[in-house]
Amino acid sequence: MTKNQIKNIQKLKQKKYRLLEKKFIIEGSHLIEECIDSSIFKELVDFIIIQKNFKNTGLIEKLNRYKYKLEYVEPKTFNKISDTENPEGIIGVINMPGEIREENLKDDVIICLDCINDPGNLGTILRTCWWFGIKRVIISKDSSDIYNPKVLRASQGAIFNISIKTDINLNEYLEYLYKENYLIYLTTLNTENLLTKEKFSGDKKYVIVFGNEVKGISKTLLGNNNYKTIKINSFTNCESLNVSVAAGIILSYLKLSILN
């Protein structure tokens, strides 16, 4: 690889260059595997960079079988490109997918995220959604970029397995979902409505909205009387839960309630 090619790949660590080039990078065997096993993203692999002493020969054989372009580099060069302290030795340069077309909404649960700024939180929420079988996540404007390397690592490949719409005006989109007969639940500490008092059933469709780590859900959404507020039962005077932890608790309760 030329020095210029390496510089261009390094630039993809920054959002403005990712948007400009319509490409992002993923690192590690697990993310590469999830990407090439994805029905959408397997067609979007630009090329794979492999450190010359990379030991996962099984993955290399799979990449060759799929006829991906492989670039082998020395460890010193690989370390310049890597975004991790102890790189595994494999990086993928992936093209961003086109805009997801809206389909007839059949999802029983949709998750909406209102200005989630921390990449670790966003990635963990996406991973949690994948775990609980959530197939659609809507992310508002001013949230962290889903192609941020920290988001990708925390998500553990979730972006390759669920439908995600980003940079969305949540006020408008939630109105659309409400008209599609979804029950909208806003998570907030400023309510008396406890999660465990809600009756969720499999014959209804739900949207759960999680808000910003500091400010919570926007006042505009909270002021909409068509939406209901809920909070997780607390057993101490602890001020709040991390938003990704809250997402796990609520999704577990919701999905089990629907199944029962």
* pLDDT tens-place string over residues 52-65: 999 999 999 999 99
Name, in order, each residue with C-beta under 8 angstroms of 194's C-beta and a sequence gap of 6 or more.
230, 231, 232, 233
Whole-number percent of the chain with pLDDT over 90: 92
The answer, yes or no, to whether residue 122 has pLDDT greater than 70, is: yes
pLDDT band of 101, cuts 50, 70, 90: low
24-45: per-residue pLDDT in tens?
999 999 999 999 999 999 999 9
Residues present in the chain in total: 260
123-133: per-residue pLDDT in tens?
999 999 999 99
* Burial class, 221, CB count within 10 angstroms (exposed 0-12 / middle 13-18 / buried 19+): buried
Same domain, 114 and 202: yes
DSSP 99: P
Compute the distance between CA of residue 73 and CA of residue 10 in angstroms, rounded to an integer: 14
Same domain, 68 and 158: no
The answer, yes or no, to whether residue 103 has pLDDT greater than 80, is: no
64 is a domain residue: yes
71-83: per-residue pLDDT in tens?
999 999 999 999 8
**25 is in which domain, residue-wise?**
3-95
Same domain, 228 and 203: yes
Same domain, 76 and 142: no
104 is a domain residue: no
Same domain, 91 and 122: no
The answer, yes or no, to whether residue 99 has pLDDT greater than 80, is: no
200-248: per-residue pLDDT in tens?
999 999 999 999 999 999 999 999 999 999 999 999 999 999 999 999 9
CATH number at residue 193: 3.40.1280.10
Compute the distance between CA of residue 151 and CA of residue 131 in angstroms, rounded to an integer: 16
Cβ atoms of 34 and 162 closer than 8 Å: no
pLDDT value for 255: 95
Between the CA atoms of 119, 125, 126 and 128, what dihedral angle is there, to the nearest 10 degrees?
Answer: 140
Compute the distance between CA of residue 204 and CA of residue 56 in angstroms, rounded to an integer: 46
Which amino acid appears at position 100 of this protein? I
List residues bridging with 71 in a β-sheet.
49
CATH number at residue 33: 3.30.1330.30
Same domain, 154 and 212: yes
Nearest to 82 by CA among 20, 9, 31, 160: 9
pLDDT value for 104: 64
What total of structural domains would you count in the chain?
2
169-191: per-residue pLDDT in tens?
999 999 999 999 999 999 999 99
3-state secondary structure of 49: strand
Compute the distance between CA of residue 176 and CA of residue 157 in angstroms, rounded to an integer: 29
Name the pTM for this structure: 0.94
pLDDT band of 102, cuts 50, 70, 90: low
Q: Of the candidates 70, 95, 120, which is a domain's last residue?
A: 95
103 is a domain residue: no
- In the structure encoding, which two tokens stand for residue 216, read together? 């919570």
The answer, yes or no, to whether residue 259 has pLDDT greater than 70, is: yes
219 is a domain residue: yes
Compute the distance between CA of residue 37 and CA of residue 63 in angstroms, rounded to an integer: 11
Name, in order, each residue with C-beta under 8 angstroms of 255's C-beta and a sequence gap of 6 or more.
109, 132, 133
Same domain, 132 and 30: no
